Amino acid sequence: MPTRRHVLGLIPAAFLRWDATASAAGGEPGDFERIDAHTHIHRPAPALFASLEEGKWSGLDLVVCPTSGDEAIDLESRLRSTLEAARSSGGRLAWASTFDARGFEDPGFADRTIARLKQSFDDGAIGVKVWKNIGMAIRGKSGAFLLPDDPALLPIHEAIRRAGKTLIAHLAEPDGAWLPLDDRNPEFPYYSKNPRWHMFGRADAPSKAQILAARDRVLARYPDLRVVGCHLGSDEDDLGRLARRLDAYPNFAVDTAARIRYFARTDRDRARAFLDRYQDRILYATDYALGENSPEVGARGMKAMHDLDWRFFATADPLEYEGRPTRGLALTEPILRKVFRENARRWLPGVGV
């Protein structure tokens, strides 16, 4: 495992410059509407929508197709219920569609998929979500894993680009998915409960580098396709690696969904400097899921997440983030406005009120 000093050394020294006189925005919520760019609501939830309005929040509701084998899924029902949630939210929720990639070798796959996505776009979807089963689970008849730049997927990427929509890509996982499953693995709690996604020792599966390289080839092939990489683009373990990708691909941005803890556990000055340099490429997001919770319970849970994250980014307060002591980053208000609103409006046209 790399040491903390080694990890810090991988980030260019230029990232470490920071204006020590920059003022924090303070602990109180800003006087601007904010956007959570990665949620999973999927049904009308009046109490949650009222809480969003009261707190000056909007969100993006992402549909996921998590299948990889022959398991059944009623994807049409998920798409319909998510559309219904968006329409009942009073403008507080935008939504993104998805597709089932398992049939990528079937005749007419791309044409059928594009036609269904067009219907979603006509229904107001602002983007298309692809998930980690591409690269990590779905296989062709030969046994080879489907990668993001497979020829069967290229017409779909082109259709998304042509429609002016955003590709929202959760591809690969934290480095811990490819590390031994022991107490030194920072993702031990997740992969011990979800062994399906633990890839260590899987000689038949693509490496993380291979999956992300395939995604990068899509970025290079379609330079005017907007792509938002979920979860810090799966480069959460290495800000230097993420920086190199952001520098290489101007059409690529990332969201913070379920990965703010990585900023909280790294060197504070380095995290602040990274967010300063890439302030136009980072979208605030939580990965909040309503699940089976009542809308009232869901509203309280989502508000608690938003309040904690705002405190982490906007203040210099000592606080605890997912069980670890840390200190808020005290970002300046111009950066907060970009991360919490303006970047989402740019990279995800149609989100926010």
For 58-105, give the DSSP string. EEEEE------SS----HHHHHHHHHHHHHHTTTSEEEEB---GGGTT
Report the chain's mean pLDDT, rounded to a whole number. Answer: 92
Number of Cβ atoms within 10 Å of the Cβ of 337: 17
Element holding 34 (H helix, E strand): strand 34-40
Residue 24 lies in a domain: no
> Does residue 1 lie within any of the structural domains?
no
The residue type of 272 is: R
Q: Which domain covers residue 275, as residue numbers?
A: 38-347
Among 27-41, 170-184, 315-329, the range scoring the smallest mean pLDDT is 27-41
pLDDT tier at 160 (50, 70, 90 boundaries)?
very high
What is the band of 119 on the pLDDT scale with cuts at 50, 70, 90?
Answer: very high
Number of H helices, E strands in the chain: 15, 11
| Phi–psi pair at 108, nearest 5 degrees | 80, 10
In a domain, 22, yes or no: no
Where residue 333 sits, what CATH number does that domain have?
Answer: 3.20.20.140
Say whether pLDDT at 347 is over 50: yes
Confirm whether 170 is domain-assigned: yes
Q: How far apart are CA 311 and CA 323, in angstroms?
A: 16
| C-beta separation of 152 from 104 below 8 A | yes
In a domain, 253, yes or no: yes
Distances (CA, A) of 70 to 84, 103, 143: 28, 10, 14
pLDDT beyond 50 at 23: no
The rounded distance, in Å, linking the Cα atoms of 59 and 93 is 5
The answer, yes or no, to whether residue 173 has pLDDT greater than 60, is: yes
pLDDT at residue 1 greater than cutoff 90: no
Residue 271 lies in a domain: yes
The total number of structural domains in the chain stands at 1
> How much is the pLDDT for 29?
54
Which has more confidence, 157 or 15?
A: 157
- Does 116 reside within a domain? yes
- Which pLDDT belongs to residue 12? 39
For residue 290, give the nearest of 301, 303, 278 by alpha carbon: 301
Distance CA 33, CA 68 (A): 38
Taking 60 as the threshold, does the pLDDT of residue 18 lie above it? no
- In the predicted structure, residue 338 carries a pLDDT above the cut 60: yes
Which residues, 6 or more positions from 314, have their beta carbon under 8 angstroms from its beta carbon? 24, 25, 26, 27, 30, 328, 330, 331, 336
Note the pLDDT tens digit of each residue in 53-70: 999 999 999 999 999 999
Domain assignment present for 214:
yes
Q: Inform me whether the pLDDT recorded for 348 exceeds 90.
A: yes
CA–CA separation, 9 and 1 (whole Å): 14
